[in-house]
Amino acid sequence: EFMQPSAEVLLPLLANADDDFTTWCGEVRGVCLQAWASLIKVARQGADQKGMAPELAQQLLSTGLRTSFALLEKNKGPETLCAITSGIAECIRSVGTGIVQASELAHIVGIMFETVDKSINRTAKAQHQRAPAADEDDDEDWGQHEEEQLRRNCEEVLAALMEVSADHFLPCLPVCSERIGKWLQSKQNKVLGLYLSCDILLHLKERSQSIWPVFMPQVFKSLEMGAKGPCEEDADARLAAAYAINVAAPYAAFEEAAAEAYRRLAKIVGSPRPKKRDSSGRKALDNAVAALMSLIREKPGSCPPEIQAWPLILARLPLRDDESEAQKSHEKLVDLVMAKDAGLLGPSNSNLASVLSSLAEVQGSKNLCNEATDAKIVKVFQLVPREMLQGFAAGFSEKQQKKIEKMLSG
């Protein structure tokens, strides 16, 4: 009953196109758009619970998109545009499936690509106007960062559309393929192209196979290792490429590329860990470990005989730097333990002590382990014979031993 009054309060703030409001209250608009997305989500959930058509959610989405597109047209500041595009993505995700139709989807895709083009042009113009000998000051760095984030947000809108309306997105694959091919040729936009490729793999799955030849060569190139380390200097590109392998691993169509993926990931995972200050490099390594885990889980028969995937993976666990991938990987790990996966446990359970050490380390850590995984870890330790745990005790840290004792006493 409070939906309509809430929308009436938010809409004037959301739609205010006054220049002074944009200058001084830009953050307010971004918050309002996120709140608008929450209204859409509640309206959709309410309709689903009552078995009704989600008409209110559809109306709220249409109003939010129409208002946001008008603001995109009027504003040129990347910070404001970032807030708007972030809100658009959240609104689309919140409305759920079955709402966004083909014509509306194609219209949104066109607007997002146009917004990206304008951002790229602004960046190119700013770089051209910058004196060659001038040092980059903080304002220029900030502007560049905001433009990059804007383009990433536009890609997030495309990902949201794939998530809620995959069937209607399929006709957009040719234009996506064209954009990806173009972006991958640019050092500045290569990561953007890889991220779009990842989302296409994630949401459209093997139905996107027709455009894999456009981006898969760059995925593998970004995972190449040289004598002195990664050939790809951009850690974000390495991260995105590893994530692409992670997502593609379950697909039958990826079988022919799996062996080479093993070789490239094994070199990365077996290389020295990046220094602590290299947070992007460490996150990229976490994603490489996660991708190798997905490969050995989904395509164990494709692993080259010279590669011992599980020992490489276990030597890098637990993951810590990319918390999202850490949670997913640790859940996969405990599921495999509960399934008594022979590859993971090794001959005569030779890997079990290392596995249990990693699980004990992440147990109770909300950043690295969700509640469901946490409960599974407790169950695993309660199922392991006490005498076996005592035999492994020398390999557990003092902190891990205390956590194990608490799990067993519970």
End-to-end Cα spacing for the chain? 45
Tell me: pLDDT of 140 over 80. no
Residue 127's pLDDT is 82
- Asked if residues 162 and 169 have their Cβ atoms less than 8 Å apart, the reply is yes
Residue 139's pLDDT is 53
Rounded Cα gap, residues 129 and 143, in angstroms: 14
Residue 228's pLDDT is 83
Of the candidate ranges 75-84, 149-158, 218-227, 324-333, the one whose mean pLDDT is the lowest: 75-84
Tell me: pLDDT of 212 over 90. yes
Tell me: pLDDT of 311 over 80. yes
Residue with tokens 């959610």: 57
Token readout for 98 is 């079955």
Rounded Cα gap, residues 288 and 280, in angstroms: 12
Q: Backbone phi, then psi, for 275, in 5-degree steps?
A: -65, 155
Question: How does residue 17 score in pLDDT terms, banded at 50, 70 and 90?
Answer: low
Token readout for 259 is 């062996």
Residue 338's pLDDT is 96
Rounded Cα gap, residues 381 and 378, in angstroms: 5
Rounded Cα gap, residues 378 and 263, in angstroms: 34
Of the candidate ranges 8-12, 59-63, 402-406, the one whose mean pLDDT is the lowest: 8-12
CA dihedral (187, 193, 197, 202) positive or negative: positive
Going by C-alpha positions, the residue among 25, 3, 5, 1 that lies closest to residue 13 is 25
Going by C-alpha positions, the residue among 187, 153, 192 that lies closest to residue 176 is 192
Angle at 180 between CA 175 and CA 182, to 5 degrees: 100
For 34, 87, 140, 298, the CA distances from 84, given in Å and listed in that order, are: 9, 5, 22, 39
- Asked if residues 58 and 97 have their Cβ atoms less than 8 Å apart, the reply is no
Rounded Cα gap, residues 379 and 373, in angstroms: 10
Angle at 368 between CA 362 and CA 372, to 5 degrees: 85
Rounded Cα gap, residues 133 and 266, in angstroms: 42
Tell me: pLDDT of 141 over 70. no
Rounded Cα gap, residues 159 and 150, in angstroms: 14
**pTM exceeding 0.85:** yes
Rounded Cα gap, residues 123 and 272, in angstroms: 35
Token readout for 255 is 């079988």
Rounded Cα gap, residues 197 and 403, in angstroms: 41
Residue 25's pLDDT is 61
Question: How does residue 7 score in pLDDT terms, banded at 50, 70 and 90?
Answer: confident
Residue 117's pLDDT is 96
- Asked if residues 85 and 91 have their Cβ atoms less than 8 Å apart, the reply is no
- Asked if residues 196 and 184 have their Cβ atoms less than 8 Å apart, the reply is no
H or E element that contains 338: helix 323-338
Residue 360's pLDDT is 97
